[in-house]
Structure 1
C-alpha cells in the first residue's frame, strides 16, 4: 500500500498552478487523500494561496503608485511640497495650542514663514539664529556642586541629565529636577536653580591596567559625550580606550582599542549616532554606534589632535595643538582643508590709537601697562558655528574666527580671558633683596574650554580667570564681540587683566558650593580653578526659554599639570540663562531671531 512517505521523490513535488489559458487538471484525488495531505502539511492555507495573501498587503501602495503613475516630476514636487506644508502647519498649530479656527490667518502665515526659513537654513547648515543679545547673561542663576576625587575633565548634557568624567576614571550621571512639562518629542531641560542629584555612578579600576579583558577604564578620562537620542554615552581616556556606555545605567556596551594613544576629544554628528574621536596618536577616527562598529581613520595632523567638533553634515573640524593648524575633514569627498594659525594677533588702527603707556584702574590710579602681542604656540579648542564658520581658542588667550573660504583667521580677539600677573619676586629668588626685573611679563590665560550654540551667533569660553565668558559674532560675521561674564558684572579691562581672581572669593568653599538653606540664589563668586569643559543647550523650543550652561572646574588642566590651583575645588557648575523681558514681549523675536537695523531676521542666511 503506497503512502506519502513511500512515494518516489518525483511524485512528492507539488505541481505548479496551471496557466489560465490551459484546461484545468483532472481531479483524481479522493476526499480521503485530500484530508491526509492537509493533515501532513500542518497548515490550513496552501502554498499556492500564500502569494495572494502577501500581495494583499500592498494593495494600498500599488493603488497609490497607479494613481500617480503618469505624474511628471514637476507635479510630484508640487504634491510633496503641499504635503510638507500641511505637516508643518499641523506642527505649528500644535505648538500654539489653538485650533485653526481660533488662530488668526496672518499670525499663522507668519509662523509658517519663520518655520520654513528655519528648516531651510538648518538643512543647509547656515547661521540663522541671532540670540546673543536676547539672553540675560549677567543675571544668570548659578548652582555649584562639589565632586570628590581628582580634577573633573569633561561634561555633556542630554535632556535633563548631565554627565561628568574625572581623572579618577569615574563617570557620573546627574539629574537636574524640572517642574516643567516635557516638550514635544519628550525632551525636557532641568533648572539650574535646583541642586542636581547623582542617579548613576561608575568608577574604573587602575589595578586592572594589565588586564586586557577589563571592560572599563584603567586611566584618567579626558572627555565625554552623549548622543542626542539619549541612548549612548562615550568616553575617552589615557588608557587608549574608547568606551560606549548605556546612557541609562552607565553599563559598558563596547570597548574599542583601535587608538594607539590617549583619546582626547569626542563629538557626535548632530542628529545621528555617528561619533568622531580625536587622539594623541595624530588621527581622527569615525565610529557608528548604532552598529557599535569602527568605520574609518583620518590622517593629516602633525601633532596630537586635542579637540574635535561636528554638525549635521558628514564633516568634522579638528585642531592639532602645536602643529598650529585647524582642519576641516570632508568624509564623503575624502578630502581636508587646512587652516594655519601661529604668530601673534595684529592690532587694528583703532587698537593702536587706543594703546597707551599708562592706564587707570577703577580708583583712578595710573598703572603702567603695555599690551604686548603673544605668539600662538598651540591651538587647543575648536567649535562649529555653521558649516562655513568655526571658532578656535589658543594658548596665547586668543579667539579666532574662521571661514572655510579663507586660510587665515577673519578676526582674532586677543587675551580673551586676560593675563596672569607675574608671581611674587620672593617665589622666584632666594636672595634677601631680589631684583624686581626678574619677575618678567604677565602671561596670558589659555582658552581651556569652548562651546557654541549650533547655527547661532553665540558661544562661551572658559579659562582659570574665575568665570565663564559669553561672546557673539557680528551680523556681518567679521568680528567677535564680548557679551561679558556669565553671572558676573563686567569689570574694567585693566582690573580683569591684572587680577588673579575675585578677591571676595579666593576659593570655592563648601558654603559657595551649595546654595543657602533659605533657597536664595547664592551670590556670584569666582570659579576658582581651571574650567576644563563646557556644554550649552537650549531651553524650550529653539531656545525660547533661554539656555543652560554646564561647566566643570578642576584643580588642574585636563591634559596635564601645567596649571595647578591648590586652593580650588573640583565641581560642576550650572548656569540658567533666561531671555530678556524685552525680547519676550517682542513678537518678532519670539523665535530667538533678533532683527538688526531693519534687516530681515535671517540676515545671516542667503
Structure 2
C-alpha cells in the first residue's frame, strides 16, 4: 500500500505538473468565456443605441423628473466612495424632512420634550436606580379631587394598585377588587345655540366599581385544608403584570390569588407568626414578605415556590419595600433598625435609629423683658420604626412612633435628615380621662404626645413623598436637589389647616379629637393605614392618583380608636397650569429650620 512517504519522487513530480496544467486550462476557459460575454454585451448595447437613434429629433420627448423618484446618476455613483454616498443620502434625507416640516408645521416644545437624548438619559438613570425626576413642584396638590368609597365593614388595613384595578383588605377577612375610574378631560367650550336639542352628556363616574369579593371564616382555624384566611388580613400586594394578588394575615398565612377570579393558587404556611407586609420586586413576580417572627422570606410566583429566608432583625419586621434591583429594605419596629438586604450577595446593611426628635414650642406665658417669646424645647425618644419606603436604589425614608420622618442614604449609617413631629402632637388627656380616681391629680395626663407615622409612600425615582397619620391630613414632602433635606410641599386634598392661625403651631386637634372646623371638608377622617401612588398617562403627563386605606383602628392593633370611617379614598392630583405660583408651605410643619437652629 503506497503513501506519500513511500511514493517515488519522480511520480510526485508528475502529479504536481498534471495539477498545474489542469489549473491553467481552467483559467484560460474563464478568460475566454468573459471575452465572449463582453462581445455579446457590446453588440446588445450597440443594437439598443441604433434602435433609440432611429427616430427623428422632432419625435423626441423630454423626460420629466418626478419629486418622488430619487435623483441618482451613473456619473456620481462611479466616482464617489461608500462614505461619500452615505453622506449624500443623509443630507438628502434631512432636506426632505425639512421640507415636510415647513409645509406641515410642528410644535417645537413637543419635539424638545420627546428628544431621544433626554429619553436615553432618563432610561439610563432608571436602570441605574437613581432619582432622576423632580415632579413635586409641578403638581397642584391643593386642587386634588377626593372620592371616598366604603370598602369593608371594619378597618381597612392595606391597599394595592395595579391600574386600572385596586385591591383592599380589612380586619373582617375581606378581599375586594375595585375598578378605578378614569378621569375624563373637560370638553372644549362651545357657544350654545338658542335652541339646544341635544341632551347634555352624563357626568363622569367618580366612584370605583366593586368587581370581586371574597371573605374568610374565623371558625375554620383548625381546618388545614381551608383555602382562605382565618384571621385579620394585614397586607396585600399586586404584581405588575396583573396576574397575581398576594395577601398576608394574622393567621400566619401567605395566600397567592388569581387576580382574574380570586381563585387561591397557593397557600404558604412557612411563617411562624403574622405576615405584616408584602412587596413585589418591580417589574417581576419575585415577592418579599415580612413577619412578626423576625424573618423575611422571598418567593417566586412564576413557579409558586419558596426561595429563601433572611435573618437579622431582633424584633418584629413590620414593613418592607423593594424596587427594581434584587434587594429590599425592612424595618424592625423596636429594634430601631432599618436593614437593606442584598439577596444575591447574601449580605445586609444595618442602619440604626433610636434618636430623639426635638421640637421647639412657643411659650405664651414666658414672655421676656424685651418683649420676645421664650421657647421650650421638647424631645421625644424614638421607640419604634414602623414604616419604610424606597425613593431609589440608594435612598429611602422611614417613619417612627415619635412622629419623625428620616431620610437615609446607603453611604451613611445615620439619617441624612430628620423632620421631627411631622404630623403634630395629640393634646394631653384630661385628668378624668387618664385616671379612674374621683379627684385625679392634674399632673397625671402629662405632656402632649406626637402622632405616629402610620403610612409612607413615594413615587419611585422621583422627589415626591407622602406621609399619613391620624391628624386628618395627608402631608406632601419633597427631596431637595442635593438629596440632603426634606422640604414641606403642603397638604393633599385641600388648603392648609387654619389651626396655626390661633397660635397652634403644632397642628393640635380640638379637645373632642375632631379636626378644626375650617378643615373638616378637606380632611381624611380616621387613621391612614396605607398609601398607594401611581401615575396616569405616559410618564405621568396626565395626573397623579393616590389611593389610601383608612380606618377607625390601627392596622396592627386596637390600642388607638378614632371617630373615623372604614374604607378607602382616591385623590386625583392635576398638574399646575402654566404660570401658576407654587403652593404655600404649611406653617408649623416645617420643623427643619428650628431643628437646624437648635443644632447651631
Q: Is the 8 A contact 1:172 1:201 kept in 2?
A: yes
Q: Structure 1: any 5+ residue segments left out of the alignment?
A: 1-97, 182-190, 361-365, 507-522, 586-606
Distance in 2 between residues matched to 1:584 and 1:238, nearest whole Å: 48
Distance in 2 between residues matched to 1:273 and 1:101, nearest whole Å: 46
Work out which of the residue numbers 472, 485, 507 in structure 2 matches 1:497.
507
Q: Is the 8 A contact 1:142 1:524 kept in 2?
A: no
Distance in 1 between residues matched to 2:238 and 2:174, nearest whole Å: 15
Q: Is the 8 A contact 2:355 2:381 kept in 1?
A: yes
Q: Alignment length, in residue pairs? A: 452
Q: Does 1:463 align with 2:469?
A: yes
User: Which SS does the other structure have where 2:261 is aligned?
Assistant: coil
Work out which of the residue numbers 524, 533, 537 in structure 1 matches 2:534.
537
Work out which of the residue numbers 407, 416, 427 in structure 1 matches 2:422.
416
Deviates most, 293-302 or 488-497: 488-497
Work out which of the residue numbers 374, 390, 398 in structure 1 matches 2:404.
398
Instruction: Compute the displacement of 1:120 (Å).
Output: 0.4
User: Which SS does the other structure have where 1:437 is aligned?
Assistant: coil
Residue in 1 that maps onto 2:140: 136
Change (3 A) 1:101 1:113: farther
Distance in 1 between residues matched to 2:436 and 2:466, nearest whole Å: 41
Q: Does 1:547 align with 2:544?
A: yes
Q: Deviations over 1:123-178 (max 9, x none)?
A: 00010010111111111100111233221100011111110000111100111232
Residue in 1 that maps onto 2:484: 478
Instruction: Compute the displacement of 1:496 (Å).
Output: 4.6
Change (3 A) 1:434 1:455: same
Work out which of the residue numbers 97, 113, 119 in structure 2 matches 1:115.
119
Q: Deviations over 1:459-490 (max 9, x none)?
A: 11111101211111111111111112111211
User: Which SS does the other structure have where 1:138 is aligned?
Assistant: helix
Q: Is the 8 A contact 2:358 2:380 kept in 1?
A: no
Residue in 1 that maps onto 2:266: 254
Q: Does 1:162 align with 2:158?
A: no
Instruction: Compute the displacement of 1:290 (Å).
Output: 1.0
Distance in 2 between residues matched to 1:420 and 1:480, nearest whole Å: 23
Instruction: Compute the displacement of 1:108 (Å).
Output: 4.3
Distance in 2 between residues matched to 1:257 and 1:527, nearest whole Å: 36
Residue in 2 that maps onto 1:577: 573
**Could you tell me the TM-score, scaled by structure 1's length?**
0.70
Q: Is the 8 A contact 1:551 1:573 kept in 2?
A: yes
Distance in 2 between residues matched to 1:367 and 1:526, nearest whole Å: 32
Q: Which entry has the higher C-alpha Rg, 1 or 2?
A: 2
Residue in 1 that maps onto 2:318: 306
Distance in 1 between residues matched to 2:529 and 2:354, nearest whole Å: 23
Change (3 A) 1:221 1:197: same
Work out which of the residue numbers 154, 160, 166 in structure 2 matches 1:150.
154
Instruction: Compute the displacement of 1:303 (Å).
Output: 0.6
Q: Is the 8 A contact 1:176 1:192 kept in 2?
A: no
Q: Is the 8 A contact 1:192 1:575 kept in 2?
A: no
Distance in 2 between residues matched to 1:224 and 1:251, nearest whole Å: 15
Change (3 A) 1:109 1:485: closer
Instruction: Compute the displacement of 1:104 (Å).
Output: 7.0
Distance in 1 between residues matched to 2:488 and 2:442, nearest whole Å: 35
Q: Is the 8 A contact 1:501 1:526 kept in 2?
A: no
Distance in 2 between residues matched to 1:138 and 1:421, nearest whole Å: 27
**Could you tell me the TM-score, scaled by structure 2's length?**
0.71
Q: Deviations over 1:382-405 (max 9, x none)?
A: 000001100000000000000000
Work out which of the residue numbers 291, 307, 312 in structure 2 matches 1:295.
307
Distance in 1 between residues matched to 2:542 and 2:558, nearest whole Å: 39
Residue in 2 that maps onto 1:344: 356
User: Which SS does the other structure have where 2:210 is aligned?
Assistant: strand
Distance in 1 between residues matched to 2:533 and 2:415, nearest whole Å: 24
Distance in 1 between residues matched to 2:103 and 2:309, nearest whole Å: 52
Distance in 1 between residues matched to 2:109 and 2:536, nearest whole Å: 27
Change (3 A) 1:210 1:581: same
Q: Deviations over 1:414-470 (max 9, x none)?
A: 011111001122212455554432221001100001111000000111111012111
Change (3 A) 1:388 1:309: same
Q: Is the 8 A contact 2:151 2:168 kept in 1?
A: no
Q: Is the 8 A contact 1:156 1:164 kept in 2?
A: yes
Distance in 2 between residues matched to 1:164 and 1:200, nearest whole Å: 11
Instruction: Compute the displacement of 1:222 (Å).
Output: 0.4
Change (3 A) 1:102 1:292: farther
Q: Is the 8 A contact 1:142 1:193 kept in 2?
A: no
Q: Is the 8 A contact 1:314 1:332 kept in 2?
A: yes
Q: Is the 8 A contact 2:536 2:542 kept in 1?
A: yes
Change (3 A) 1:193 1:133: farther
Distance in 1 between residues matched to 2:527 and 2:373, nearest whole Å: 28
Distance in 1 between residues matched to 2:275 and 2:204, nearest whole Å: 30
RMSD: 2.8
Change (3 A) 1:168 1:371: farther
Q: Does 1:240 align with 2:236?
A: no
Residue in 2 that maps onto 1:38: none
User: Which SS does the other structure have where 1:456 is aligned?
Assistant: coil
Q: Deviations over 1:189-231 (max 9, x none)?
A: xx99701111100101111110101111111000001111111
Q: Deviations over 1:309-359 (max 9, x none)?
A: 000000100000000000000111111000000020367xxx7xxx54339
Distance in 2 between residues matched to 1:339 and 1:100, nearest whole Å: 61
Distance in 1 between residues matched to 2:579 and 2:319, nearest whole Å: 34
User: Which SS does the other structure have where 1:439 is aligned?
Assistant: coil
Instruction: Compute the displacement of 1:271 (Å).
Output: 0.6
Change (3 A) 1:436 1:150: same
